[in-house]
Amino acid sequence: MKTLSENRCHGGVQGVYAHASQVCGCDMTFGLFLPEEAERGPVPLIWYLSGLTCTHENAMVKAGAQKWAAEAGVALVFPDTSPRGAHIANDDAYDLGQGAGFYVNATEAPWAPHFRMWDYVTDELPRLLFNAFPLAEERQSIMGHSMGGHGALTIGMSFPGRFRSVSAFAPIANPIASDWGRKQFTAYLGADEAKWAAYDATLLMRKRGFDGPILIDQGASDQFIELLRPEALAEAMAARRQGGILRMQKGYDHSYFFVSTFIEDHIGFHVAALYD
């Protein structure tokens, strides 16, 4: 692992690190904020999964999460959203290829050799983090924005007992029924829709739900709301009687202005679960 930068931040350290990923077959970069308490021992960890076109840097710089994490003594990790490099398959469209990994394990050419973001986020990167940094593996929560909200919800529901809580900002809630999903799942996973179900938060909610609290914020003026389909997830939560909160935030769009407005609520929500 290579240290790219480390900066003092709210009494802790905001670092950026790179490492050779066997899963993705390329170098991967991630951001990690460690609060001051990490100097004395392991601290809880909150995962933040970013959305389409983002790198590790977007939320790290724009969300303003470090202030609230520092006050609570928790760490934040900001993974990248896809493999990257000149030898990695890509597409001219912003919503496919590099920057658009969709947190799945691709099985189709030309994506399969590198686009294995599910295994990267759920297996390879956690092993690296817990071996290299003072983090408490038994105290994890996960959140994300847009495509990253999709990733947070699907991963949270697929690993019972791993995460104390899950939250999302404007998640792609029902990708199997959206152009933000059908296009990418066809490319990455093939035409057999049965293979898509494991990566759809609404279908997973109907099938198994989440064994902890859920918080979802959706901007009511989100320009992409028809693609996100929050109503499908809300209906699935109600049908399952899943404990959770879904808030429609009047006047807010899909931007990081929206995320930064409510990030304090989300950090506080996770902290309550992490220290329960």
**Annotated catalytic residue 167:** no
Q: How far apart are CA 265 and CA 246, in angstroms?
A: 13
Residue of 56, 145, 150, 254 marked active site:
254
SS3 221: coil
The H-or-E segment that residue 7 falls in is strand 2-9
Q: How does DSSP classify residue 17?
A: E
Q: How far apart are CA 179 and CA 248, in angstroms?
A: 22
**Annotated catalytic residue 221:** no
SS3 94: coil
Residue of 217, 222, 266, 270 marked active site:
222
The pair phi, psi for residue 197, each rounded to 5°, is -60, -30
**Annotated catalytic residue 165:** no
Residue of 146, 165, 167, 178 marked active site:
146
The H-or-E segment that residue 141 falls in is strand 135-145
**CA-closest candidate to residue 273, choices 92, 171, 139:** 139
Q: Give pairs for 175-182: CB < 8 Å, separation 24+.
A: 175/102, 175/150, 175/199, 175/200, 175/201, 176/200, 176/202, 176/203, 177/202, 177/229, 177/232, 178/227, 178/228, 178/229, 179/227, 180/52, 180/95, 180/147, 180/224, 180/227, 180/228, 181/102, 181/150
Q: Give start and end residues of each alpha helix (H) in 12-169.
A: 57-62, 65-72, 117-119, 125-132, 147-158
Catalytic residue positions, numbered = 146, 222, 254
